[in-house]
């Protein structure tokens, strides 16, 4: 995608014939993924969250942790955060800066690493989500938001 610089599976963008691929081989043709093509008035944060949610293949970070599944979670984690809560905050315009948005993303990762041991699959998934999520924040959010917040995202990498 020439907007967010991420790769998109042809199937995910409903590419069905060879002609569609041939068009994209022309260097003068710009391609924009479905999220970047969306022309509604979604905020930059909602768009970034759409990309982050697409990265969360395990669905570990999209919703609140289920207390029935992890009964001790709320005893250990004092500031729960997930992508749904971030979306609610974004829709309510509760992110005055890019840094505040990044802080909540960091909280998701910190919580996962705090609650899970380093040798567990969940911890490793959190590390991968953090790495890929930072790419989203750098490539998409900062491209849209401008230079504000660059130091926060880049320095935490």
Q: Could you tell me if 51 and 35 are in contact, meaning their C-beta atoms sit under 8 angstroms apart? A: yes
- What are the tens digits of pLDDT across the range 93-118? 898 888 899 999 999 999 999 999 99
E strands along 41-135, which residues?
none
One domain for residues 111 and 144: yes
Same domain, 34 and 50: no
Task: Give dist(CA 75, CA 139) in Å, integer.
Answer: 35
Does the structure show a pLDDT above 50 at 148? no
93 and 67 within one domain: yes
Whether the predicted model's global pTM rises above the 0.85 cut: no
Q: How many domains does the chain have?
A: 2
Cα separation, 105 vs 127, whole angstroms:
12
* % of the chain with per-residue pLDDT over 70: 73
Question: Which has more pLDDT, 33 or 71?
Answer: 71
- The verdict on 4 and 78 lying in the same domain is no
Same domain, 62 and 33: no
CATH assignment at residue 96: 1.20.920.10
Which structural domain, as residue segments, surrounds residue 9?
1-39
Same domain, 94 and 139: yes
- Is the same domain home to 15 and 80? no
- What percentage of the chain's residues is helix, strand, coil (to nearest 5)? 55, 0, 45
């Amino acid at each position: 995608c020439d907007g967010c610089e991420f790769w998109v599976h042809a199937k995910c963008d409903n590419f069905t014939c060879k002609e569609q691929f041939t068009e994209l081989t022309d260097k003068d043709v710009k391609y924009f993924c479905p999220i970047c093509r969306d022309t509604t008035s979604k905020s930059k944060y909602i768009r970034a969250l759409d990309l982050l949610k697409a990265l969360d293949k395990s669905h570990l970070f999209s919703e609140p942790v289920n207390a029935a599944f992890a009964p001790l979670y709320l005893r250990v984690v004092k500031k729960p955060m997930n992508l749904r809560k971030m979306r609610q905050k974004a829709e309510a315009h509760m992110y005055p800066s890019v840094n505040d948005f990044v802080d909540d993303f960091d909280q998701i990762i910190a919580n996962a690493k705090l609650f899970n041991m380093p040798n567990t699959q969940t911890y490793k998934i959190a590390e991968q989500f953090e790495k890929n999520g930072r790419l989203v924040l750098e490539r998409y959010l900062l491209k849209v938001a401008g230079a504000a917040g660059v130091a926060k995202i880049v320095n935490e990498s």
